[in-house]
Amino acid sequence: MHIEFIERKAAVLARPTLKCLSEVATINPTTGCSHQCAYCYARGYSIYPGDGRVCIYKNMAEKLKKELSRRRKLPKYVFFSSSCDALQPIPQVINLSYELMSILLAHDIGINLLTKGRIPAKFLDLFQKYKQLVHIQIGITSLDRNVQRIIEPYASSPSERIRNIERLCAIGIVPEVKLDPLIPGITDTNLNLQALFSILQKYGINDMGINYLFLRPYIKKNLYTALRKTSFLKEILEHYQKSKSISLLAEKSRVHALDVSYRRNSYRNIADLASTYGINAYVCGCKNPDITEEPLCGINWGKHFENIPEQRKLFVM
Ligand code: SF4
């Protein structure tokens, strides 16, 4: 992996394009992401530095402090990270993410972290100290190491992600789980989901967001490259033969999505299956606007934080 340090010229706190995040700010400590997930939509962004390259914003912590001191109104919380993973396994990224989170938390600003990386011990200490300001989402769609290696080659293993959940629960933070993106015929099978749900149930996970893979030309190309020697590719492409072009609830975002009735039925089946494990599974509304036009995360986060009024006030719009 080639690491480069660059200057951040634009504001550190950016406005997200997804409707469900439109009221908050996002922060991306890098362009590029060492996890190199085959389905990653950020690999098609104009600022993407290319595979095998991660650019770290060297001036971001200082810039964030200045930005916060100038703001009349501070954001309620900040989302890490919409186009990279704040915990990708590069020490300089980990250190920068830690610094950025520490600054925000010290300003009483909440953080929402979505990660497929391993959470280092010092972050757990930080999260424990600021428990009421932290919302963690763990991305995981399978316990199968072989499947994960193919679709998310440099992200943490399923067992490391389960270990994240275990360690978070041990400090009193029950994370939410994101099954995003589910890949039809591969990670949406009953066998795969039952194995995953039974482990999640063990740790008392009660909420998960679900969403199917959508395709754009470059996602298709990356998937083709990652899966060309496997039987998965044929299976995936067959599922997307009847795909439809839809607009996400995000700026300028047209994608090819699975047929709406396939998604609707499958989401219902997954939610029914999850409920037998005591887990509430909800569909990402912004990415499935032909099923629901409502971003449902707010409603579901409301339930997630039902008994924690401080977090409810912070993370539920
Ligand atoms: S972790 Fe997220 S940002 Fe990084 S490659 Fe995977 S999908 Fe893209």
Q: Whose CA is nearest to atom 6 of ligand 1?
A: 37
Whether the per-residue pLDDT at 317 is higher than 70: the answer is no
Q: Whose CA is nearest to atom 7 of ligand 1?
A: 40
Residue 161 Cα, ligand 1 centroid: separation in angstroms?
Answer: 15
Residue 7 Cα, ligand 1 centroid: separation in angstroms?
Answer: 22
| Atom number, ligand 1, closest to the C-alpha of residue 152 | 6
Q: Whose CA is nearest to atom 3 of ligand 1?
A: 84
pLDDT score at 309: 73
Q: Whose CA is nearest to atom 8 of ligand 1?
A: 40
pLDDT band at 315 (very low <50, low <70, confident <90, very high): confident
Whether the per-residue pLDDT at 39 is higher than 90: the answer is yes
Q: Is the CB of 42 under 6 A from ligand 1?
A: yes
- 273 burial (CB, 10 Å; 0-12 / 13-18 / 19+) is middle
Q: In what order do the strands lie in the sheet with 25-27?
A: 25-27, 77-80, 110-115, 134-139, 176-182, 207-212, 280-283
**Token match 């992996």: residue?**
1
Phi/psi for 202 (5° steps) reads -55, -35
Residue 34 Cα, ligand 1 centroid: separation in angstroms?
Answer: 8
Q: Which of 85, 93, 149 to mutate to test the pocket of ligand 1 (most atoms within 8 A of CB)?
A: 85
| Atom number, ligand 1, closest to the C-alpha of residue 116 | 1
Which parts of the chain fold into alpha helices (H)?
Answer: 60-70, 91-106, 121-129, 145-151, 158-170, 190-202, 217-227, 232-239, 260-275, 297-304, 309-315
pTM, two decimals, is 0.93
Q: Worst-scoring range by mean pLDDT, 184-198, 201-215, 244-258, 296-310?
A: 296-310
Instruction: Delineate the domains of the chain, giving CATH numbers in brackets.
Output: 2-315 (3.80.30.30)
DSSP state of 249: S
Residue 30 Cα, ligand 1 centroid: separation in angstroms?
Answer: 11
Whether the per-residue pLDDT at 135 is higher than 70: the answer is yes
As a whole number, the mean pLDDT across the chain is 91
Question: How much is the average pLDDT of 141-170?
Answer: 97
Rg of the chain in Å (alpha carbons): 19
Can you tell me the distance from the alpha carbon of 54 to that of 5, in angstroms, rounded to the nearest whole number?
9
Q: Which of 84, 141, 164 to mutate to test the pocket of ligand 1 (most atoms within 8 A of CB)?
A: 84
Can you tell me the distance from the alpha carbon of 251 to that of 19, in angstroms, rounded to the nearest whole number?
9
